[in-house]
Amino acid sequence: MQNNTFSTLFVGQNLIKLSAVDSTNNYLKNLLSNSEPLPEGTVIMADHQYAGRGQQGNVWKAEAGKSLTFSLLLRPNFLPVNRQFDLNMLVSVALNNVLLKYLPNNLSVKWPNDIYVDDQKIGGILIENVVAGSTIKQSIIGIGLNVNQKSFEADIQHRTTSISQILQQDVNLMVLLTEICTQIEQLYLKLKFGKSTQLKDLYVSKLYRLNKLGNYSANGEVFEGMIEGITEVGLLKIKTHDGTTHEFGFKEVAFVW
């Protein structure tokens, strides 16, 4: 365990830095499966994550030492299972809030939890929950953020960007990590003590393509629709040309470019 000088109550107070790992989420899960006594708020940070994972089995590609790749342990046992999407909203809003300091224009959250600048991805979140009965026993939150990477592989470069590419200057990774941990902790404590009544509204207001026509794919068919928001459990609401609103869960709908 490594202590640090984060000005947080618990998120990031136990920071474990790794030079390289397949996936920080996997590393954290392995520690927990070995009954390591890890405090809530533990952060696993890697300079190089060579098999990082995204939503729906996608691979997260990041240049070593240039980006933030880390996982956070939370124990939100105050949350019932049907409210687990609150964690997605919380972390998405937290990242968006922090990035506004650096990139004040055109930030959004692509449902369920990718961070976008205009039409390019700058970050992503992978949340893996362990459920016990009707509540969430623990949550492993993996975050990948393109920070100082200057170039990307040809197959993704047109859809991906970084803070450095936009600002034309590098950003201190540890400062950024501290800001993210602080913002997550503040929102998490509000959620825990029932003071996050605006979380859903904040999340929806930041949605990529909100109230704009776009193309989507579901059940093997491409259709045009407009994102209206989300349901109470996080399903995506898309209205089609006939005025019907459809609700989609994870993996049931894809964005078409």
Among residues of the chain, what percentage have pLDDT more than 90? Answer: 83
- Under CATH, what is the fold of the domain 213-256? SH3 type barrels. (2.30.30)
Provide the pLDDT for residue 55: 46
Provide the pLDDT for residue 49: 83
Provide the pLDDT for residue 35: 80
- Both structure tokens of 211: 């109230």
- Give, for 28, the enclosing helix (H) or strand (E): helix 24-33
User: Stretch 41-59: mean pLDDT, rounded?
Assistant: 73
Q: Is a pLDDT exceeding 60 seen at residue 74?
A: yes
Q: Is a pLDDT exceeding 90 seen at residue 56?
A: no
Going by CATH, does the domain composed of 15-205 fall within 3.30.930.10? Answer: yes
CA–CA separation, 35 and 76 (whole Å): 18
Provide the pLDDT for residue 60: 47
Q: How far is CA 43 from CA 30, 75, 97, in A?
A: 14, 13, 20
- CA–chain centroid gap for 14, Å, is 20
Mean pLDDT of the chain: 92
CA–CA separation, 218 and 196 (whole Å): 32
- 95-142 tens-digit pLDDT: 999 999 999 899 999 999 999 999 999 999 999 999 999 999 999 999
Delimit the domains of the chain by residue range. 15-205, 213-256
Confidence band, pLDDT 50/70/90 cuts, at residue 238: very high
Provide the pLDDT for residue 151: 85
CA–CA separation, 62 and 91 (whole Å): 20
- Both structure tokens of 228: 């209206």
Would the pTM of this model clear 0.75, i.e. be above it? yes
